[in-house]
Amino acid sequence: MDRKAELAANLVAVRERIDAACARARRTDSVTLIAVTKTYPASDIRLLAELGCTDIGENKDQEARGKHAELAGLGLTWHMIGQLQSNKAASVSRWADVVHSVDRDSLLAPLGKDPAGDSVTVLIQVNIDDVPIAGRGGAVPDAVPALVERILDADGLVLGGVMGIAPPGGDASAAFARLATAHDRVLALAPGARMRSAGMSEDLEEAIAHGATHVRVGGAILGKRTYLQ
Ligand SMILES: *Cc1c(COP(=O)(O)O)cnc(C)c1O
């Protein structure tokens, strides 16, 4: 099978999983599928765009910057989903339309400084582990309301909502329930911040059951990543 046919078949299968999960949850709103293309070449992103998948997720600034430059003009929406170093934040704001991994104040000023003047949509990454472990990324739930206020006050940023990653091997449903609770607190302060980014190849059903508006799917579309990120 050629690569485009392979991607097309995988997209159909993932979209069927999403539709089935929405039906089970009696959801009539739509869920946006973000294809996570980290470690895969720009040529795959071009094929995905031809197949109607235009939301693209990347997790490394340098890798994404190159692909973004190569694929200008395709009308893609670029999502930064990886942990963000403060010294990379300004660079990320040049290619990313949505940054899912905002978990601390020090990222806000550099992210808001896109020289093109476009505002960047940011999601607060919430640590939804049972017991938060340092280094996993994400603001602890109690730190979220203060971060909301800072983002609402920041120049060049639009608060889009929240993002969470279920702990590997843990209880995904319980984790996504914690994300829903954190999101409710955000919505009380910022009613427009409706995006809830949750769910990957292995747990998108649980995420959709808990209100995910955006799922981030890599392996189930592109294939198993075979080299180190
Ligand atoms: C890699 C990655 C994904 C996609 O994971 P898959 O298991 O390949 O679907 C989603 N979200 C984040 C934050 C990632 O780093």
Closest atom, ligand 1, to C-alpha of 219: 8
CA 210 – ligand 1 centroid, Å: 18
Nearest CA to ligand 1 atom 12: 81
Burial class (CB in 10 A: 0-12, 13-18, 19+), 27: middle
Cβ atoms of residues 93 and 120 within 8 Å: yes
Tell me which residue has its CA closest to atom 11 in ligand 1: 216
Closest by alpha carbon to 85, among 69, 68, 62?
A: 62
- For the entire predicted model, the pTM comes to 0.96
Q: What is the dihedral of CA 159, 214, 107, 138, to 10 degrees?
A: 110
pLDDT single digits (tens) 149-175: 999 999 999 999 999 999 998 999 999
Spell out, as residue ranges, where the chain has pLDDT lower than 70.
Answer: 227-229
- In the prediction, which pLDDT does 16 show? 98
∠124-38-131 over CA atoms, to 5°?
40
CA of 153 to the centre of ligand 1 (A): 30
Ligand 1, residues 59, 100, 102, 208: which to mutate, most atoms within 8 A of Cβ? 59
SS3 state at 55: strand
Residues near ligand 1 with C-beta < 6 Å?
Answer: 36, 38, 59, 81-82, 165, 200-202, 216-220
Q: What confidence score (pLDDT) does residue 227 get?
A: 61
Q: Which amino acid would we find at residue 200?
A: M
Residue in 14, 60, 81 to alter for ligand 1 test, most ligand atoms within 8 A of Cβ: 81
Cβ-Cβ contacts under 8 Å for 184 (sequence gap 6 or more): none
